[in-house]
Amino acid sequence: KEARNLGIQFFDTADSYGNGSAEEAIKKALHPYENIVIASKGGYKHERLGAWVPDSRPEKLKSCLENSLRRLDLECLDLYQLHCPDSHVPYADSVGALAKMQQEGKILHIGISNVNLDQIKTASQEVKIVSIQNAYNILYQGHSDILNYCEAEDLIFIPWMPLGDGSISWDHPILKTIAQKHGSTPAQIALTALLHHSPSILPIPGTSSLNHLKENTAASYIELDDGDLLNLWRD
């Protein structure tokens, strides 16, 4: 509720987050959804801590979507994303299942996640893709080619792990120096660096407390200069 009050309009979740409990929490806090976008994902099983198993069979995806709609109390999801490729299922078949559910009026827009360029092109042959969600942050830039593709094709790039999930040291001298310059925290600089990096980027930082939420939101008001950006992205 506080996120909505602070002006957050995009909420990203998945059926595998807490085995549906994250979607239930969103419904409890935000339903009815007014002037916000709810995005969910299907195709990953997360049965225990550290265990992520792809399951993108068409029949499984249909079940995932139906359960997400029920938990979120929706008839149609604003954005539904294929969580990951499944090596046991042709990628076109998985995306095609989402396309069929879109035709049935259960999905407004379709996105894909954890993909390479070949998979993006395969998906685009099946249906119109509006967003791509891959790992990306100031330390890990392994999907720069995907970001470039999104910019060229006018797609939204949703970087998961935008704050590094523990891989970025908040004692990094460049981060600390720029944070001191702007009277902010190193984490805020890492987040606002993404917002300045590309107009296609829509970060989804996780939050574990109200203070963390307010810190993340305040990052959007920090104005970095060219020198800051050059130092942050020089690697």
Distance CA 157, CA 123 (A): 15
136 annotated active-site:
no
Number of Cβ within 10 Å of residue 41's Cβ equals 26
- β 51-54/44-48 pair status: antiparallel
Place of tokens 């963390």: 212
Put the strands of the sheet holding 107-113 in their side by side order: 10-12, 37-42, 77-82, 107-113, 129-135, 156-160
What is the radius of gyration, based on Cα positions, of the chain?
18
Distance CA 42, CA 66 (A): 10
Active site residues per annotation: 17
